[in-house]
Amino acid sequence: MERKRLLYLVSSDPQVSPFDINMAYDAGFDAVIPYAGVVVPAVRGLVQDIMFSRGPKGARSSSIFFSGSDLTAAEEMLAAARAALFDPFRVGLMIDPRGGYTTAAAILAKVAALARAKDLGDLGRLRVLVAAGTGGVGKTAAAMAARDGARVILTSRRAESAAAAAREVAALFQAEVTPRAAATETELASLAHEADVVIATGPAGVQLLSRRTVQELRGPKVIVDVNAVPPAGIEGLKPQDDGTEVVPGIFGLGALSIGGLKFQVESTLLKDLLTAETAPVLDSRAARQRADGILAAR
């Protein structure tokens, strides 16, 4: 009997992202079943219902994708799922909270490649500023840069928020970043002047750095904006910029450039989740490795 290939999309949020549902269907899953508002203690029973219902041979036809805007909850769900599995009942597992892991992986892979191309050197030797970094993308990008050895500053308008984000990065990713308050553009600009890489991860439609500030920066320097909604997070950086020299010595990566690689990373990981012979566990490290691999193959 040919079994349907099912993906259970599990989130602590009140709604499951349609982005991930669309991506999963396009990757080839026969059905995507959303579970919203899930709490961590419920995960063990949910996972075992999924795997036992299909038997040892059929368990591999099921996969679970953990999403949601709360990184800690998503990671705890993944840990609970891994603890619930045992041979011969194995289902594939993937985590990408609100697309944060695949987006951050795309950012860091492109930053690392561009920094090498423009003679800034290896990412591990650079100073990285993650501006407005308390969201999922910001915290994950900060963690990935720190794991590579970079000196990372993560900012928020409030010192307490930056410190809380830094603690979460340390707890989830075993990576150390420095929290800093930057309530004004002047404060953020001062930090940007000292950085080799500036990654703007603020809310959509919020400008963090003006064109004048960008023009005053001294290169070589890489600037990144993940915001595709006008106005840009970094004024003058276009969504399609892909290593563009936006002012002398300042090289930009825009949201569409990042998004194109993010799409490839998530798409190929979902296909692995679907087709790998042995049930995989695809986490933030898997996302980063895939992003690096895709760029290296170009």
The boundaries of every CATH 3.40.50.10280 domain in the chain are 6-99+264-297
More confident site: 228 or 96: 96
Residue 1: predicted pLDDT: 62
Q: How many CB atoms lie under 10 A from the CB of residue 158?
A: 13
CATH number among 3.30.420.40, 3.40.50.10280, 3.90.420.10, 3.40.50.1000, domain 6-99+264-297: 3.40.50.10280
Question: What would the CATH number be for the domain defined by 102-258?
Answer: 3.40.50.720
Q: Which residues are within 8 A (CB) of 267 and not within 5 positions of it... i.e. 6 or more apart?
A: 23, 26, 27
pLDDT digits (tens, 9 = 90+) for 256-292: 999 999 999 999 999 999 999 999 999 999 999 999 9
Q: Does the pLDDT of residue 103 top 90, yes or no?
A: yes
The boundaries of every CATH 3.40.50.720 domain in the chain are 102-258
What integer is the mean pLDDT of 19-43? 97
108 neighbors 100 (Cβ within 8 angstroms): no
Q: For residue 69, which of 96, 98, 105, 35 has the smallest C-alpha distance?
A: 98
Token look-up 């969504």 returns 239
Q: What is the full DSSP assignment across 30-90?
A: SEEEEE-S--GGGHHHHHHHHHHTTHHHHGGGEEEEE--S-HHHHHHHHHHHHHH-BTTB-
Q: Which residues are within 8 A (CB) of 58 and not within 5 positions of it... i.e. 6 or more apart?
A: 3
Q: Does the pLDDT of residue 205 top 90, yes or no?
A: no
CA separation for the pair 120, 159 (Å, rounded): 30
Q: Does the pLDDT of residue 298 top 90, yes or no?
A: no
Residue 148: predicted pLDDT: 96
pLDDT exceeding 90 applies to what percent of the chain?
Answer: 96
CA separation for the pair 83, 209 (Å, rounded): 44
pLDDT digits (tens, 9 = 90+) for 172-194: 999 999 999 999 999 999 999 99
